[in-house]
């Protein structure tokens, strides 16, 4: 499961972190996104998807949504979760308390 979305310390976006260690298959994730028409930049250790909002996807499962709008980040997480078969988020509201980047 993913922890609740948290506002990053720079207040430039929201991040979702997996509760347990994961290793995402970035090649598979890239293919799934591109099959849905989402442009993706492959930076080898992470993907940058031109999602709405833009999202950075790390091999370790960290997702960084580049928006200051919590609702927009939540909607993007759910869409991305469905496309990539990611685990659900822990129940509860999005946190606006900044976390270290």
Q: What is the CATH number of the domain that holds 49?
A: 3.30.310
Total domains, the chain:
1
How far apart (Å, rounded) are the C-alpha atoms in residues 16 and 3?
A: 6
Residue 98 maps to a domain: no
**Confidence bin at 100 (pLDDT 50/70/90):** very low
- DSSP of 51-81: -SS-EEEETTS-EEE--S-HHHHHHHHHHHH
The chain-wide mean pLDDT, for the chain, equals 88
pLDDT reported for residue 95? 53
How far apart (Å, rounded) are the C-alpha atoms in residues 23 and 61?
A: 6
How far apart (Å, rounded) are the C-alpha atoms in residues 79 and 84?
A: 9
> Looking at the predicted structure, is the pLDDT value of residue 93 above 60?
no
CB 67 within 8 A of CB 16: no
Residue 15 maps to a domain: yes
Task: Determine the average pLDDT of the residues in 30-52.
Answer: 95
Model confidence, pTM? 0.83
Percent of all residues in the chain with a pLDDT value above 90, rounded to a whole number: 62
Residue 66 belongs to what domain range?
Answer: 6-92
If one compares 8 and 69, the residue with the highest pLDDT of the two is 69
pLDDT reported for residue 64? 95
């Amino acid at each position: 499961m993913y922890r609740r979305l948290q506002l990053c310390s720079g207040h430039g976006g929201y991040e979702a972190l997996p509760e347990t260690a994961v290793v995402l298959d970035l090649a598979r994730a890239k293919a799934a996104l591109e099959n849905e028409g989402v442009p993706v930049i492959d930076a080898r250790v992470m993907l940058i998807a031109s999602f709405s909002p833009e999202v950075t996807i790390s091999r370790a499962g960290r997702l960084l949504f580049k928006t200051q709008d919590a609702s927009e980040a939540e909607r993007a997480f759910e869409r991305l979760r469905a496309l990539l078969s990611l685990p659900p988020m822990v129940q509860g509201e999005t946190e606006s308390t900044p976390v270290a980047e």
